[in-house]
């Protein structure tokens, strides 16, 4: 809907979100990232055919002109709702472009490299003190057709019976899609055999076990989760995560964070597993207010701690 708006809001309205393909500027952060072995813009150009650059609010010529006017002017402008819808549409469009490019890159990844990276990533996790000390975990069941980082070794380790005299067995919750409206639950399982393939060919638990007992839903558990192991299509070094577009994880994580706040629980650590080719520079992935940031990434080159929560829990490079 259109409405009359004064000049200043219109100048702001004319600020445009754009995905720039402009020439790169070499700066300190980027040089630092390159030293760390991150995905440089040049590498992104090679992999994806063009460079992803952070989304920036850019002043259009109209905005420039309007902000230099000294007299108040009234002209027809878009309503705030229309602008928000436009910005969201632009973010979703950019997400679709990145998804499509990363899917292609993953498809062309050499299977033996993928399998090596799977092993390294899982070994890093299995050896990590923050993993060893986690008693309750939520993890995804990897789907190789989707080229997701393998979690099978992690899951079998988590589910392997602990020696009687040893520390407590870990408790594992895994996702189950409830409907097409971004609703997902996390159910406790104790054996890999508890899983059956869903319509998307991803293994998931039935809501009742083989004996007909209702499985424990993590949202009704008495104790907090220590660690989430998250999937995703792409990640950036500021902790942004691009999923497969269903909104399942973002919706779930938002609800879980609210539950933890209500119960006064410490927040879990949110850790995503990523092949090297899925990691992008800081703030390259566009986000909406619904997107939940991850605390750290585990890639074949090591752990990338992002938030103070990650550093506080002892995650380091």
Residues 259-298 that bind ligand FFO (CB under 6 A): none
The reply on whether position 140 binds ligand FFO by CB under 6 A is yes
Give the residue with the Cβ less far from ligand ATP, 105 or 182: 182
Reported as type and span, the H/E element at residue 228 is strand 227-230
**Which residue from 246, 251, 257, 282 is in contact with ligand FFO, where contact means CB under 6 A?**
246
Give the strand order in the sheet containing 184-189: 184-189, 171-177, 136-139, 227-230, 269-273, 296-299, 302-305
Find the part of the chain contacting ligand FFO (CB under 6 A) among 20-28, 106-114, 143-151, 185-193.
143-151
Half-sphere exposure of residue 104: CA atoms within 13 angstroms, side-chain side: 11
Residues 21-80 that bind ligand FFO (CB under 6 A): none
CB of 295 to ligand ATP, least distance (A): 16
CB count in 10 Å sphere of residue 245: 11
CB of 294 to ligand FFO, least distance (A): 14
CB count in 10 Å sphere of residue 218: 25
The three-state secondary structure class of 196 is: strand
List the single partner that 7 binds among ligand FFO, ligand ATP, none, CB under 5 to 8 Å by kind: none
List the single partner that 239 binds among ligand FFO, ligand ATP, none, CB under 5 to 8 Å by kind: none
DSSP letters, 12-74, are HHTEEEE---PPP---HHHHHHHHTT---HHHHHHHHSS-----EEEE-HHHHHHHT--S--E
**Which residue from 46, 200, 219, 311 is in contact with ligand FFO, where contact means CB under 6 A?**
200
Reported as type and span, the H/E element at residue 86 is helix 80-107
Find the part of the chain contacting ligand FFO (CB under 6 A) among 49-57, 61-69, 107-115, 242-250.
242-250
Find the part of the chain contacting ligand FFO (CB under 6 A) among 14-22, 89-97, 140-148, 189-197.
140-148
Q: Which residues bind ligand FFO (CB under 6 A)?
A: 103, 140-143, 146, 148, 175, 177, 184, 200, 202, 231, 243-244, 246, 248-249
């Amino acid at each position: 809907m259109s409405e009359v708006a004064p000049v200043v809001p219109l100048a702001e309205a004319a600020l445009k979100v754009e995905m720039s393909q402009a020439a790169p500027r070499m700066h300190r952060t980027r040089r630092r990232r390159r030293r760390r072995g991150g995905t440089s813009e040049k590498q992104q150009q090679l992999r994806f055919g063009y460079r992803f650059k952070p989304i920036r609010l850019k002043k259009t010529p109209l905005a420039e002109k309007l902000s230099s006017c000294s007299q108040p002017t009234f002209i027809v402008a878009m309503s705030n709702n229309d602008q928000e819808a436009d910005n969201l549409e632009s973010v979703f469009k950019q997400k679709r472009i990145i998804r499509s490019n990363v899917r292609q890159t993953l498809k062309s990844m050499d299977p033996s490299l993928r399998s090596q990276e799977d092993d390294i990533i899982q070994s890093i996790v299995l050896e990590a003190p923050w993993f060893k000390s986690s008693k309750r975990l939520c993890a995804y069941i990897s789907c190789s057709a989707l080229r997701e980082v393998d979690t099978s070794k992690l899951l079998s380790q988590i589910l392997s019976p602990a020696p009687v005299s040893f520390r407590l067995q870990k408790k594992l919750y895994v996702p189950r899609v409830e409907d097409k409206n971004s609703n997902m639950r996390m159910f406790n399982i104790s054996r890999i055999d508890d899983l059956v393939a869903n319509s998307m060919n991803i293994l998931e638990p039935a809501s009742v076990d083989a004996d007909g007992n209702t499985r424990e839903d993590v949202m009704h558990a008495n104790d907090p989760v220590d660690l989430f192991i998250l999937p995703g299509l792409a990640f950036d070094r500021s902790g942004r995560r691009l999923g497969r577009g269903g909104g399942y994880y973002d919706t779930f994580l938002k609800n879980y964070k609210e539950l933890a706040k209500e119960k006064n629980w410490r927040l879990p650590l949110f850790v995503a597993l990523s092949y090297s080719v899925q990691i992008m520079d800081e703030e390259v992935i566009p986000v909406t207010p619904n997107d939940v940031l991850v605390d750290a990434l585990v890639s074949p080159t090591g752990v990338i701690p992002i938030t103070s929560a990650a550093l506080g829990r002892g995650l380091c490079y």
